[in-house]
Structure 1
Amino acid sequence: EELHLAAVQVMAASVDESATHEPQHAESVARLASSIAASMKMDEEDIHRIRVAGLLHDVGLVGIPEEIINKRGSLTAEEWRRIKEHPEVSEAILKHISSLESFLPVVRHHHEHYDGAGYPDGLSGNNIPKGARIIAVADAFQAMTADRPYRKAMTVGQALTELQLGAGTQFDPDVVAAFIAVLQPSQAKAS
């Protein structure tokens, strides 16, 4: 089990190094997602599954040219189509590893929106796997609070406001509330 997790961490780190916008992105998403899952009182097996899926959620970015991922301006329609394929590419890569089969739905659906406007399948609400709804919040927060080639990082407060504005449309409102409780435990108790 430890060797399995170590191999997954190496795979995630290599994707972050070669294909993404920031080092340690996958590790940060995995850590935040597992904290959210724990705060939602999920069992240890589910927390572990969400952590591993968080490490692997962007593995499909390896097939997208770096000039698209790191583009400073707006993406063309074709470039955006390529970016939107990465959850399916991730699933296609990982499905060949039988021990990762249970992680595939979470990896595939981490860009679905609570209102059904996401991708790749347009799932909504509880039809989106809970782990994917959790990773969506962790991934969005991590992306918003990191510098990108096309914009500066938001502050934690700005990112939390964006998550709250997206609760019920892009994000599961229960997951957003759990995430805020993780980041701001004293404020969550007061409200």
Structure 2
Amino acid sequence: MSTLGNRPNTALLVIDVQNDVVEGNHERDVVVANIGSLVDKARREQVPVIWVQQFDDERLTKGSDGWRIVPELVPAGGEPLIDKSYADSFEETTLEAVLSGLGVGRLVVAGAQTDECIRSTLHGAIVRGYDAILVSDAHTTEDQTEWGAPPPGQVIAHTNLYWTYHKAPGRTAGTVETKNADFTTTP
């Protein structure tokens, strides 16, 4: 259980599923469809859906087409939109204030890029006292093999492996597939 007092709720955190971020990514269409399923389920169960969008002055300028969330996923009115400029979605953003206001102590995480923003946010959540569950088939990354990284499928598999067994005192980590995602209990 989360180490955050009076924070019994769960939220779905959708990270950086933006046009230029996921374009050409590993299994992009499958991952986006899985995230869509998670969003639909969360909304049906009245679980908050929180959207995070990376921005910078080079590639992801606020308001540009590349910065926009992919057209297959549409934030509903009233769903929080968090702007970020660092990999960890908590760094210099309003995410913590939003989660606190919603009484959220448990996050179900999906999005992109696996090897940067997903990992950073998962670790950022755990060290801040949150339970953090990664949806194993709802995150993706680009091919960075030319810079020495493993192929994207291996990056994703490795992230799923280590997050499945991640531990921290008083907090729960782990992974779950989209079809088994549960917004009320830990996996």
Band of TM-score, shorter chain: 0.3 to 0.5
Q: Which has the higher contact order (CA 8 A, sep 6+)?
A: 2
TM-score by length of 2: 0.38
Write 1 or 2 for the structure with the bigger share of strand: 2
Write 1 or 2 for the structure with the bigger share of helix: 1
